[in-house]
Structure 1
């Protein structure tokens, strides 16, 4: 692999066990994944007071930030997936880490806003999930 390139399969979500100290384990089976860093755009545009008929330059500032992880793949039954599904069923927040290769780790409270199981007659049972930050996350840069 060329210098500096990262493997997509290393973009991970790790679910915490709630212990002290907390241990984070990979949510296994995810084949397709993405992590989104975005912020709302707050329009700060003001037409010129001295030349109100002239061109107007659009300006903005960042608003509410959003951190979202989505993943889908084969469902693998394990202690981690059982604990994860309990959080999903109970609509509760839980501690997790999103590890972004080449960037760092986003850790804190997450919740699942969308979860589904999918399956046909022959292939493995699959799942998909969307995770959003449930509280302010901490970021630790990759060293």
Structure 2
């Protein structure tokens, strides 16, 4: 692999077990995944007070930050997936880490806003999930 390139399969979400110290386990089965970092745009545009008929320059500032992880793949039954599914069924926040290769780890409280099981006659049962930050996350840069 060329220098600096990262493997997409190393973009991970790890679910915490709630113990002290907390142990994080990869959510197994993911085949596709993405991590989105965005912020709302707050319009700060003010027309000129001295030349109100002149050109107006649009200006903005960052608003609410949003961190979202989505993934889908084969559902793998395990003790770690049992812990994860208990959080999904209870609609509760839980500790997790999103590991972004070449960037770092985003850790804190997450919640699942959308979860689906799917399957056809022959292939394995699949799932998809959307995770959003439920509190302020801490970021640890990759070493």
TM-score tier by shorter-chain length is over 0.9
Shift of 1:21: 0.3
Shift of 1:3: 0.5
Q: TM-score, normalised by structure 2?
A: 0.99
1:111 and 2:105 equivalent? no
Shift of 1:44: 0.2
For residues 121 and 7 of structure 1, the distance between their equivalents in structure 2, rounded to whole angstroms, comes to 31
Q: Any idea what SS the aligned residue of 1:139 has?
A: strand
Structure 2: tracts of 5 or more residues without a match: none
Runs of 4+ in 1 over 2 A off after TM superposition: none
Q: Which residue of 2 aligns with 1:24?
A: 24
Q: Any idea what SS the aligned residue of 1:84 has?
A: helix
For residues 29-60 of structure 1, the C-alpha deviation after alignment (integer angstroms, 9 at most, x for no partner) is 00000000000000000001111111100000
Shift of 1:103: 0.3
Shift of 1:70: 0.1
1:4 and 2:4 equivalent? yes
For residues 4 and 79 of structure 2, the distance between their equivalents in structure 1, rounded to whole angstroms, comes to 34
CA RMSD of superposed structures (Å):
0.4
Shift of 1:65: 0.2
For residues 3-28 of structure 1, the C-alpha deviation after alignment (integer angstroms, 9 at most, x for no partner) is 00000000000000000000000000
For residues 78 and 40 of structure 1, the distance between their equivalents in structure 2, rounded to whole angstroms, comes to 38
Q: TM-score, normalised by structure 1?
A: 0.99
For residues 73 and 55 of structure 2, the distance between their equivalents in structure 1, rounded to whole angstroms, comes to 50
Q: Any idea what SS the aligned residue of 2:64 has?
A: strand
How many residue pairs are counted as aligned between the two chains?
143
Structure 1: tracts of 5 or more residues without a match: none
Q: Which residue of 1 aligns with 2:42?
A: 42
For residues 10 and 56 of structure 2, the distance between their equivalents in structure 1, rounded to whole angstroms, comes to 45
For residues 10 and 51 of structure 1, the distance between their equivalents in structure 2, rounded to whole angstroms, comes to 54
Shift of 1:99: 0.1
For residues 112 and 132 of structure 1, the distance between their equivalents in structure 2, rounded to whole angstroms, comes to 6
